Structure 1
């Protein structure tokens, strides 16, 4: 049995964002607490006792407190069921929460060498001493099985694959850690499979383009978590919230020609869930035309704490 807990479904800054007075953030702050969401991460488990995080958001401490599945074992002075963290990119949204895991519990960080090089280059991550917190390289198109604390098999197979995205924003126009000259591995999607039941799903927190290859990969999947950052590519510019397009940040729009909704239609995906949804995105408002369009197309936006069992 494969269990998935949505720890957070928002993009960077969460909902409401601390310094934002846009319609969504105002509503979340004042009238509609159900809109509140922490930054994107999920937890997965094959046995219900050991859990792996996919990305460690800046809100990780709050997410762990809110998730009974991730609480210390009853009667233990120090314990965590979190056995590892799988990183899909090196953005602040994905790695900052690692710093909340510095209190001595052992776990393994799995990441592409490009992303692990970012951690190594930033000495603040040395608070996660490698004697206690191992760092395990993963490669695109090479399946691996994350390990339990005693070194035994977790029962989960993870297949990383490259998707079109961008290098972490804070590294634009800078020398890249590790000295590599391309962006392969900076943005990964994951196929996550329970080895016993053969149930599986896909996780893509960032994706700039839905290629024919990606369509073929996702076709017929029982469950897909997909990048839902913006409704339209120029959303932040049009709303006066910023100067970046979705594409410039490495994110496809939900709507429009070649948007996620159109591109992933007709592929026989059983359940389609948007995450990494930015506070600028009007589809977050339940009564909006954008939400109605999204739902008619068979998509959902989850609330924090949603658990799915495959």
Structure 2
């Protein structure tokens, strides 16, 4: 049985966000809402509960490792269960944690598309910085449908799927996205064929992508915003969800409509949830709507077996 551990389930900034006093963040601090704190989104995947693929390295990685004893198997005086890291994009909230892994004794296997590796070598030069510490061993991901494995994790089948979204604000390609700027990830259990689709950043669900998701036992997808104008209505940003590369849950063509097209047997979960999203409040009308539709909200520490 393969296992996914949700290390972090929030969008960038976490929940509560350090400088935010929206109703959700203020309510969580005051204890006036039914909600739980969340770190920034990341998952870890293992086929043996000993060797793990870290998918995205959030700024909260040290807290996430501390809260996940399985990631420290203690086989030697210095050790880690993290065998390799795979990046879905070059967003700051998905890559900054790489800097916290600098004490590694050998080069860190780093899997990402050529586009993301270029961003991390130039626009946000983490790989250059790490070359003065442990260094990285880059592995360019194929995005043409070919399957692959990660170093040290041969028991996990992987496939990268180019998605419609946007590269980071610091990227020179922000206004002209490329297919490799953001990916979804298919994880396959070779022993039973079960597949999981993971996509914390998703701006559009195409018919082809819907077919792919329909073939998966579990989909763990973008839950950033409830409405397209969520940040604007709260006076927190001038940008809509689409401007930031995210498909909101509600509204025509939204994530809820897309997930309703999947087979009933497919387990459906939302992750990468922004601090403003009302689904964070466990007794909210929006959370109740998800429950009626059979859609779960991922949380830190959640285990998913497939």
Q: State the TM-score, normalizing by the size of structure 1.
A: 0.92
How far 1:154 moved relative to its partner? 2.0
Q: 1:288 to 1:182 in 2, by over 3 A?
A: closer
Give the secondary structure class of the aligned counterpart of 2:240: coil
1:22 is aligned to 2:17: no
Corresponding residue for residue 155 of structure 2: 155
Q: 1:244 to 1:48 in 2, by over 3 A?
A: same
Give the secondary structure class of the aligned counterpart of 1:145: strand
Please give the per-residue CA displacement for 1:206-234, whole angstroms capped at 9, x wherever unaligned: 11111111111111421110001000000
Q: Which runs of 5+ in 1 are unaligned?
A: none
Give the secondary structure class of the aligned counterpart of 1:255: coil
1:300 is aligned to 2:296: yes
Corresponding residue for residue 271 of structure 1: 267
How far 1:126 moved relative to its partner? 2.5
Superposition map of 1:1-310 within 5 A? 1-31=1-31, 34-73=35-74, 76-106=76-106, 107-121=108-122, 122-129=124-131, 132-140=135-143, 141-148=145-152, 154-171=154-171, 174=172, 183-268=178-263, 269-310=265-306
Give the secondary structure class of the aligned counterpart of 1:7: strand
How far 1:47 moved relative to its partner? 1.1
Give the secondary structure class of the aligned counterpart of 1:43: strand
How far 1:142 moved relative to its partner? 2.2
Give the secondary structure class of the aligned counterpart of 1:62: helix
Q: State the TM-score, normalizing by the size of structure 2.
A: 0.93
Alpha carbons 2:11, 2:274 under 8 Å: kept: yes
Alpha carbons 1:105, 1:132 under 8 Å: kept: no
1:34 and 1:284 map into 2 onto residues whose CA distance is 6
Please give the per-residue CA displacement for 1:255-296, whole angstroms capped at 9, x wherever unaligned: 111000111213115211100100011111111111111111
1:235 and 1:249 map into 2 onto residues whose CA distance is 12
Q: Say how many residue pairs are matched.
A: 299
Please give the per-residue CA displacement for 1:88-139, whole angstroms capped at 9, x wherever unaligned: 1111111111111100243310000000011111444334239753011002
- Write out the 4+ residue segments of structure 1 that deviate beyond 6 Å after TM superposition: none
RMSD of aligned Cα (Å): 1.8
How far 1:30 moved relative to its partner? 2.4
Q: 1:34 to 1:105 in 2, by over 3 A?
A: farther
Alpha carbons 1:169, 1:249 under 8 Å: kept: no
Alpha carbons 1:41, 1:57 under 8 Å: kept: yes
Larger displacement relative to structure 2 (28-37 or 243-252): 28-37
Q: 1:169 to 1:272 in 2, by over 3 A?
A: same
Alpha carbons 1:189, 1:203 under 8 Å: kept: yes
How far 1:184 moved relative to its partner? 1.0
